[in-house]
Chain A
Amino acid sequence: MWTRAVWLGLRAAAGGRRGFTSKADPQGSRQVTAELIEHLERLALVDFSSQEAVARLEKAIAFADRLRAMDTDGVEPKESVLEDRCLYLSSDNVVEGNCAEELLQNSHRGVEEYFVASPGNISWPKLDEKEPFSHH
């Protein structure tokens, strides 16, 4: 498909970039393929509607990759800056709610006191149904 040619072109241009390498796989360089973009788009409901957007993504990955320059052997990973904090426990009392009207004001459409959504899940056109990328 024609998009693949574009990606390969981009990769060549970027040159020497490690891309999606896992620590355990020093040689493998997972390219940002069209399938990956489509997968990410569906997962995050974000529209990479231009080459620029994808290029930005690749730059972001490259930027984050610089973390791998750190030697973290034998260091226990931190998961959150809150690790040393105490997790507050609330008592089991009802102190909120009863504001349906207020909440529904945020909604574009409503039926009685319900929010309204389109039926089924959020649909996403398949790759070959999509418009080709345009240059913005």
Chain B
Amino acid sequence: MATPMLRWCCPGRRWIFAGIGGGSRHGRGVPTGSTSSGKKGQSSVAQQPLITAQKPRKGEREWAAVVGLEIHAQIASNSKLFSGSQVDFAAPPNSLVSFFDASLPGTLPVLNRRCVEAAVMTGLALDCHINRKSLFDRKHYFYADLPAGYQITQQRLPIAVNGSLAYSVCVGKRWSQMVTRTVGVKQIQLEQDSGKSLHDNLRSQTLIDLNRAGVGLLEVVLEPDMSCGEEAAAAVRELQLILQALGTSQANMAEGQLRVDANISVHHPGEPLGVRTEVKNLNSARFLAKAIDYEIQRQISELENGGKILNETRSFDYKLGCTVPMRDKEGKQDYRFMPEPNLPPLLLYDSGSLPTGADPQQVIDIDQLRERLPELPRVTREKLVRQYGMLPEHSFALLNEVGLLEFFQNVIKETRAEPKKVTSWVLNTFLGFLKQQNLAVSESPVTPSALAELLDLLDRKAISSSAAKQVFEELWRSKGKTPAQMVAEKKLELMQDAEALEQLCRSMLEAHPQVVTDVKKGNPRAINKLIGLVRRATLGRADPTVIKEVLERQLSS
């Protein structure tokens, strides 16, 4: 492998594809260096490291990091996984709790069909094998927010196994180089969420709210195919987009609908894998990569100083920016897994195996679900690239912001301007304004129609691009006027009178013989002065490129 020897890869970097550089992109294909270690499990050097951090000092050996993830996504359903109480984020404490959720004696679990469908759809989207038979188990541990003393999960035989998730990361110094990577999906299982604990340290007590207890979760286990925080964050981001596109989870990390635990270890390439630690509850998209990279660096430092890594559980302290050991995990947890005695095996069917005369409500047909799968983000992006000739990183940017793709498509519908122009305006100007004022697309003061109209004016060469930017700013600030009205008001229309322009240029040349001599002597920048003068004379209503053309033509004659 012709990789420069490096300390370890991936200095932490934001994975959001912000700020596409405008202007001249020379047509260049995207290097799809897809280094997939697929489902081989842990390989000694998992991936081609991304960025050279620093050259190792003499005598030092390089390190490779191995990162696996366990992601819990709350299923978007009306009721819980095994009971008929409501799933809702904000409600009075303990108001969305049934007798079963509170683990009162005599209650039994009843499986929610919607949750099973969500699991199958997610499995299909991640190219998993869907197990026609899967089983439920009890995982025992004591905690106040787990009233039953066990969680119903799928330990022996989960609903989906052996899939893969493709995601993209930026390599190199420029945002524009993107590479596709793949991480294996070990399994997807259905399980219950626990309640919430609110620690009241003042009164030395813990308040328990069981509203969340029993809510359906999809646990997605990603193989340790990732090698740094950036890759992990990109994989999580793509999973988030997939879940949102499928509608199986809103996957909002801030609201706790998507939680990530990371398993991290380091080793020297070629040597066996190191001891791993588990970093729990990485619940912020922003800090995910940071936390993982911190832990990797901590392990490297520890080992280089002759220390040892303990197989322990840690959590990320957001304030201090470091991982700390978690309380109360004396030795290994023994969950005493046992089959859930109240639930028969979950059987799924396909079109070939559907039992005849069965109640459709009681039967789940995998093929039917596959047919109804919504378009996945990967496919949407490919279509955008094909249809509009945009660069892959543009398609990522469009899908990365809620509502942005729709906005873009609405503008395209109403304007005659070229797609490339629209892409540039939406991703640079429009998105730039949104970000500056921290607004969502839905809160934009500029509508797709307004932007479309503006781009039409630009396309017709009725205004110059600098005038267009001015108008856009105006549109953003004040409502009620159309672009055309603004252009008229501010007299921003381009001079359409070619003859008048010729005249103006000629007179300008006559008035500045010294500059003319400079240009003729071969100073190419001298002409800019003339262009500036003409522009001012036209009150900014002539396109600088056109002025330049005219002047150059006149000078050479």
Q: Which residues of A contact B (CB under 8 A)?
A: 39, 43, 45, 79-80, 82-100, 103-104, 106, 111-122
Kindly identify which residue among B95, B206, B336, B362 contacts A98, using a CB–CB cutoff of 8 Å: B95
CB distance from A115 to the nearest CB of B (A): 4
Cβ-defined contact, A92 with B112, below 8 A: yes
Residues of B99-152 contacting chain A, CB below 8 A: 99-100, 102, 104, 110-116, 135, 140, 142-144
**Alpha-carbon separation in the docked complex, A130 to B295 (Å):** 38
Which chain A residues border B336 with CB–CB below 8 Å? 43
**Alpha-carbon separation in the docked complex, A114 to B97 (Å):** 12
**Alpha-carbon separation in the docked complex, A95 to B142 (Å):** 29
Kindly identify which residue among A87, A118, A122 contacts B111, using a CB–CB cutoff of 8 Å: A87
**Alpha-carbon separation in the docked complex, A94 to B339 (Å):** 27
Cβ-defined contact, B85 with A112, below 8 A: no
> Does B445 make an interface contact (CB < 8 A)?
no
A contact face: mostly helix, strand, loop, or mixed: loop
> Does B74 make an interface contact (CB < 8 A)?
no
Cβ-defined contact, B97 with A99, below 8 A: yes
CB distance from B101 to the nearest CB of A (A): 8
When A89-B111, A100-B92 are in contact, do A79 and B135 touch as well, CB less than 8 Å? yes
Kindly identify which residue among B97, B208, B361 contacts A116, using a CB–CB cutoff of 8 Å: B208
Cβ-defined contact, A119 with B111, below 8 A: no
CB distance from A136 to the nearest CB of B (A): 26
Which chain B residues border A96 with CB–CB below 8 Å? 79, 83-85, 98-100
Which chain A residues border B197 with CB–CB below 8 Å? 117
Cβ-defined contact, A87 with B344, below 8 A: yes
User: Closest 3 interchain pairs by CB?
Assistant: A117-B144, A92-B114, A97-B85
CB distance from B333 to the nearest CB of A (A): 9
Residues of B482-496 contacting chain A, CB below 8 A: none
CB distance from A74 to the nearest CB of B (A): 20
CB distance from A73 to the nearest CB of B (A): 21
When A45-B142, A100-B95, A113-B92 are in contact, do A86 and B205 touch as well, CB less than 8 Å? no
The number of residues on chain B lying at the interface, defined by a beta carbon within 8 Å of a beta carbon of chain A, is 57
When A80-B344, A86-B344, A100-B97 are in contact, do A114 and B85 touch as well, CB less than 8 Å? no
Cβ-defined contact, B97 with A92, below 8 A: no
Which chain B residues border A94 with CB–CB below 8 Å? 78-79, 84-86
**Alpha-carbon separation in the docked complex, A87 to B499 (Å):** 84
Kindly identify which residue among A79, A83, A95 contacts B84, using a CB–CB cutoff of 8 Å: A95
**Alpha-carbon separation in the docked complex, A4 to B144 (Å):** 33
Which chain B residues border A122 with CB–CB below 8 Å? 142
Kindly identify which residue among B94, B135, B328, B339 contacts A104, using a CB–CB cutoff of 8 Å: B94
Cβ-defined contact, B78 with A92, below 8 A: yes
Cβ-defined contact, A87 with B347, below 8 A: yes
The residue in chain A whose Cβ has the minimal distance to the Cβ of B338 is A79
28 sampled A-B residue pairs with Cβ under 8 A:
A39-B334, A82-B342, A87-B343, A87-B344, A88-B110, A90-B84, A92-B79, A92-B113, A93-B78, A94-B84, A95-B84, A96-B79, A96-B85, A97-B86, A98-B96, A113-B93, A114-B93, A114-B207, A115-B94, A115-B209, A117-B207, A118-B206, A119-B200, A119-B204, A119-B205, A120-B206, A121-B144, A122-B142
**Alpha-carbon separation in the docked complex, A41 to B283 (Å):** 34
Which chain B residues border A118 with CB–CB below 8 Å? 144, 204-206
Cβ-defined contact, A117 with B208, below 8 A: yes
> Does B364 make an interface contact (CB < 8 A)?
yes
Cβ-defined contact, A97 with B204, below 8 A: no
> Does B58 make an interface contact (CB < 8 A)?
no
When A86-B344, A92-B113, A94-B85 are in contact, do A117 and B206 touch as well, CB less than 8 Å? yes
Cβ-defined contact, A79 with B339, below 8 A: yes
Known pairs A82-B341, A86-B344, A116-B205. 12 more at Cβ < 8 A?
A79-B339, A83-B344, A87-B346, A87-B347, A89-B361, A92-B77, A114-B94, A115-B210, A117-B207, A119-B200, A121-B143, A122-B142
> Does B327 make an interface contact (CB < 8 A)?
yes
CB distance from B368 to the nearest CB of A (A): 14
Cβ-defined contact, B362 with A89, below 8 A: yes
The residue in chain B whose Cβ has the minimal distance to the Cβ of A84 is B344
The residue in chain A whose Cβ has the minimal distance to the Cβ of B203 is A111
Which chain B residues border A98 with CB–CB below 8 Å? 95-96
**Alpha-carbon separation in the docked complex, A3 to B234 (Å):** 55
Cβ-defined contact, B111 with A106, below 8 A: no
Cβ-defined contact, B93 with A82, below 8 A: no
Which chain B residues border A106 with CB–CB below 8 Å? 102, 104
